[in-house]
Structure 1
Amino acid sequence: GIRSNSTSLYVRQQPRVALVSTTGTEKNRKPIDPPPFVELQVERRVDPSQHFLNNPYIFSTVTLYKADVDQDYDDTPGKSLAGTFVSSANRLKNEVNIDGCYFVFGDISVKVVGTYRLKFSVYEMRKDGQGVVVYLGAVISDKFQVQTQKDFQGLSESNYLTKSFHEQGMHLRIRKEPRTTL
């Protein structure tokens, strides 16, 4: 298994803005823009062949994190977040065509207005039959704004990395051009 002291985590795509998600409007729910991507790297001296890229037992969870204090916004993700809070590891090519291990969060919305960060925690389920889950580390995003409908400027055009991951089979909504509100 991978050891946490040989791993590094990077937020490769930072969340910038989100439209607050009001309960009961699942179809109107807008995910955080742009969708956050987290990359896991494992040191070559530990995994020279980079086998971890094909490890189906690695996954990441996301929680809403306070903007200025290092603690979770609340104790259960379902209170403040909506959508999919877990991502399995995906072997994807980045913008320079190099394989990496990415966690893709294309469907998270926030239910509370304000400024927050996201905390991504990464784990490996050990396949030795014990069902042991090993914590590999965490990374915290930059701050982003969760806005009400009247303040919300619309979503930006999907960038190259989002389009690339979409083309590689990730379930991501793609926007060709920025929406303008009249």
Structure 2
Amino acid sequence: KYTLIVSQQPLRARMCGFGEKDRRPIDPPPIVQLVVTDEKGNPDTGMLQNPFFVLHVTLWSEDGRDERNVISNPPKTTRVLMGSLVSSPAILKNTTGEQGCYFCFPDLSIRTEGKYTLKFSLMKLGTLINTRTEIIATTYSDPFTVYSAKKFPGMTESTELSKAFAKQGLKIPIRNDVRPRKIAED
């Protein structure tokens, strides 16, 4: 059995608009843990070493009912969720030193303001013998808010989990000193 646990929930983001330069990552970076158990419910740690797992992320409405990946403005369709939408597994130790299989999304950004959730879909890539790829587990993040530039309250300090993973070599941006941002009065 494959179970996905969102270890680090997205809290907020500043919308990045429709330019290609001004990319603002979701804060904190979403991190999802994969737990594999056998028929008896015991952890199957051998399966975690499988390099064929990938986790794909899509953008959904706050209630998780409607996909929000693209904005259709005929004749053009534009992606709303930007960045690396697929993550490979990394075997890392969490803040208590426990080893696990994690997928990290440090560079996701969203073009439009609003309330959203992220849907994570686990796939096991096909082999040469069996080329089919199917979704074997899914989960949703908690809802989070994407703010306009004027209303964005600023980035939070990096979490202990982000810092622990960065120390182990994961490429994840770390912020230590965070100054509260003055929000423009309307």
Query: Is this contact kept in 2: 1:31–1:106, CA < 8 A?
Result: yes
User: TM-score by structure 1 length?
Assistant: 0.88
Q: Which runs of 4+ in 1 moved over 6 A?
A: none
**Residue aligned with 1:11, SS:** strand
Q: Which amino acid aligns with 2:48?
A: L
Distance 2:181 2:43 in 1: 50
- 1:103 to 2:81 alignment: no
Give 1:135 shift.
1.4
Query: Is this contact kept in 2: 1:156–1:177, CA < 8 A?
Result: no
Q: Report the more deviating stretch, 152-161 or 73-82.
A: 73-82
Distance 2:44 2:37 in 1: 10
Give 1:164 shift.
0.8
Distance 1:48 1:64 in 2: 30
5+ residue gaps, structure 2: 72-76
Distance 2:82 2:29 in 1: 14
Give the 3 Å change call, closer, same or farther, for CA 54–69 of structure 1 in structure 2.
closer
State the partner residue of 1:57. 52
State the partner residue of 1:179. 179
**Following superposition of structure 1 onto structure 2, how do residues 29-68 of structure 1 map, counting pairs within 5 Å?**
29-44=23-38, 45=40, 50-68=45-63
Write out per-residue CA displacement over residues 99-130 of structure 1, whole angstroms, 9 at most, x where no aligned residue.
11111000100111100100000000132433
Distance 1:75 1:89 in 2: 26
State the partner residue of 2:67. 72
Give the 3 Å change call, closer, same or farther, for CA 130–42 of structure 1 in structure 2.
same
**Residue aligned with 2:79, SS:** helix
Distance 1:68 1:167 in 2: 35
Q: Report the more deviating stretch, 164-173 or 69-78.
A: 69-78
State the partner residue of 1:10. 5
5+ residue gaps, structure 1: 1-5
Give 1:52 shift.
2.0
Q: Paired residues, what number? A: 176
**Residue aligned with 2:164, SS:** helix
Query: Is this contact kept in 1: 2:70–2:80, CA < 8 A?
Result: no
Give 1:23 shift.
2.2
Write out per-residue CA displacement over residues 4-52 of structure 1, whole angstroms, 9 at most, x where no aligned residue.
xx111111100000000122242x3110000000111011447865112
For the aligned residue pairs, the C-alpha RMSD in angstroms reads 2.1
